[in-house]
Amino acid sequence: MQNNQQPVALVTGSAKRLGRKMVETLHHAGYRVIIHCNHSVNAANELADNLNQQRANSAKVVSVNLLDQKQITALAEQSLVCFGRLDVLVNNASSFYPTPIAQATQEHWHDLFGSNVKAPYFLCQALVPELTKRQGVIVNMVDIHAEKPLQDHSIYCMAKAALKMMTKSLARELAPTIRVNGIAPGAILWPSDNALELTEHDKAAILQQVPLNRLGDPMDIAQTLLFLVQAPYITGQIIAVDGGRSLGGANKA
């Protein structure tokens, strides 16, 4: 029989990659999980099936387009229907691609700001009453490039900078009942989109900027998330999980 006292976590964009690992880690820690996806429905359903085999009725899938305001509201409503409560919101869904200023469009702006700032903000707004009731937690996936811009990614970097300020602002506004923190990943996974594929030279150049001199692992992000969820006296903080890359400079040869 399902224990209705078990906490529930919603992770947006969690069918694959970092989101998937965060869902798996929260589930292993005893959370019931809501897997949000847009296009990756098959991967989301497969993940939910695997988790439900481990613990019956512990994972559900909600598919919505976060660029549609009505669907953001629907995600909040459907998430509360899934298990009748919500304790943790992780804003992980994000578009990411270069926008050199000469080629940048209104559509790029709408997509990058919509997925990285607008959707997280209004999803938070919709879920504040429930999270207040549960003394819940919000964790936003920021980026080390919210502070140090990535070449040709100005719109994305601006959006992540806005998400960083949103994290700090909401931490003040929603205290003391809801804690709000952020995680800023560095080089954890190489891009999976063929259009963003890096050469071996590019990868080596990036790793030269990482003092720990290696790529991170999705579990590094998932463990940081679990720590923040379980750290009752931390709010308004952005934790860089980047192997020291945000320190600046390159490794010595």
pLDDT 10s digits, 204-218: 888 888 999 999 999
50 — pLDDT class (breaks 50, 70, 90): very high
Decide which of 4 and 125 is more confident: 125
Q: Residue 17: its pLDDT value, please?
A: 94
252 — pLDDT class (breaks 50, 70, 90): very low
Domain, as residue range, for 230? 8-243
Find the catalytic residue in 31, 121, 156, 233: 156
- Distance (Å, whole) CA 41 – CA 64: 10
> How many independent structural domains does the chain possess?
1
DSSP codes joined into one string, 150-217: PTT-HHHHHHHHHHHHHHHHHHHHHTTT-EEEEEEE-S-S---SGGGPPPHHHHHHHHTT-TT-S---
**Greatest alpha-carbon span in the chain:** 58
Give a yes or no: residue 1 inside a domain.
no
Give a yes or no: residue 32 inside a domain.
yes
Range 57-67 average pLDDT: 97
Give a yes or no: residue 3 inside a domain.
no
pTM: 0.94
Give a yes or no: residue 249 inside a domain.
no
What CATH number is associated with residue 239?
3.40.50.720
31 catalytic per annotation: no
